[in-house]
Chain A
Amino acid sequence: DAGVTQSPTHLIKTRGQQVTLRCSPKSGHDTVSWYQQALGQGPQFIFQYYEEEERQRGNFPDRFSGHQFPNYSSELNVNALLLGDSALYLCASSRWGYEQYFGPGTRLTVT
Chain B
Amino acid sequence: AQSVTQLDSQVPVFEEAPVELRCNYSSSVSVYLFWYVQYPNQGLQLLLKYLSGSTLVKGINGFEAEFNKSQTSFHLRKPSVHISDTAEYFCAVSDPYGGSQGNLIFGKGTKLSVKP
Interface set of A (CB-CB < 8 Å, partner B): 4, 31, 33, 35, 40-45, 48, 50, 55-56, 58, 90, 92, 94, 96-105
Contact = CB atoms under 8 A, between A and B. Distances in A.
Contact of B43 (A4, A40, A44): A4
A56 B104 CA distance: 11
B53 to A, nearest CB: 15
A41 B106 CA distance: 9
A104 B99 contact: no
A98 B101 contact: yes
B103 interface: yes
Contacts, number: 70
Which of B34, B43, B104 has the most chain A CB within a 10 Å cutoff?
B43
B108 A97 contact: no
Given A33-B104, A105-B42, 5 more contacts: A31-B100, A42-B108, A45-B105, A96-B100, A101-B46
B90 interface: yes
B102 A33 contact: yes
B101 A99 contact: yes
Nearest to A58: B103
B107 A55 contact: no
Contact of A48 (B41, B99, B103, B108): B103
A83 to B, nearest CB: 21
7 contacts: A31-B100, A42-B4, A55-B100, A56-B97, A97-B99, A102-B36, A105-B43
